[in-house]
Amino acid sequence: MASKHPLFFLLSFLLLAGALRAQPTQPDTLLPYFLPPVDAQEYDLAGLAPYLVTPPDTFHLWQYGSAFDVDFQQISLSNWAGGGQDAISLRGQMRLFGVMDNGVALWENRLDLVYGITRQEQATGIRKTDDNLQFVSKYGYELKGPWHISAGLDFRTQFSPGYRYPNRDTEVLVSDFLSPGFLLLSLGFEAQQNNFYSMRLSPISGKLTIVRDDSLAARYQVVPGEKVRREIGVQVDGSFQRKILENISFNTRATFFSAFDTFGNVDINWESQLELRVNRYVSSKVTTLLIYDDDLNVPRGDDRPPGPAIQFRESVVVGFSLRL
């Protein structure tokens, strides 16, 4: 059976994007139950005015933003000598972020939602092509110069079941919501420069691998029935973003984790994107994702049994894009 209800996930995703787009980023007026400010000098009955401190306006320290992308691809062939098959693909992506910066502390939050489907002429039903749910939160407090003490959280999973297709009529379940899910918690030091690159070293970091479905536990080396595998180790991560030309930008992020009990075996998650904006609403993107997990048994497509292997995905898309 193909992925369950993929159209439902994609339509819900697009409706949520439209609803969020319609919301104002901040209120025009204060709510009625907010009291007006009081003049401390006028009502100072105990001589306390010199000691009163006006609380910071934390609302205006926050910056919010969002990005929505919808990509569509259609292929139709007739008497095509080179082979191939008709196909229709649809992919939606939404990114929400909020950043608080008061000059000393910096708190960054990002939510990424991606879902894609395809229908091919010789395939059974609709199949999933892309599926990602990721939330990243990072808090840093300035020490000296570019250095911050930093704490981070990185959670990743997917929306719906994922399958491998050995042939046209056979599907094998390989993943699902929270099967797996990955949670990285880290504490360390970060250096930032000019808002275009950062590097963070976390000598104490924890990684949780979550598998809700016991039938998939062995694939992710989780003991059936326990649901979670815990690792403590060292994490290094960095990011770089740069506008190459007025309408061309590049960004890349990489995370490296090595557990203390298997130190030297490094888990890698490295994603990059090159974007060319045609105009305000149309853009073209080249994205890559490289993953290596020493504890993940990956089908390797040959006579060897499943085991650790480099996973790589590349995509080139042109579609509707909106930044708010």
92-106 pLDDT per residue, tens: 999 999 999 888 898
Q: What is the pLDDT of residues 105-124, one digit of tens each?
A: 989 999 999 999 998 877 77
Q: What is the pLDDT of residues 141-169, one digit of tens each?
A: 999 888 899 999 999 999 999 998 888 77
Is the pLDDT at 212 greater than 50? The verdict is: yes
Q: What pLDDT sits at residue 23?
A: 47
C-alpha span between 82 and 71 (Å, rounded): 26
Q: What is the pLDDT of residues 272-314, one digit of tens each?
A: 999 999 998 999 999 999 999 988 888 776 677 777 888 998 9
Answer with the residue of higher pLDDT: 56 or 175: 175
- What is the dotted CATH code of the domain comprising 6-51+60-323? 2.40.230
For residue 146, how far is the Cα from the chain centroid?
Answer: 25
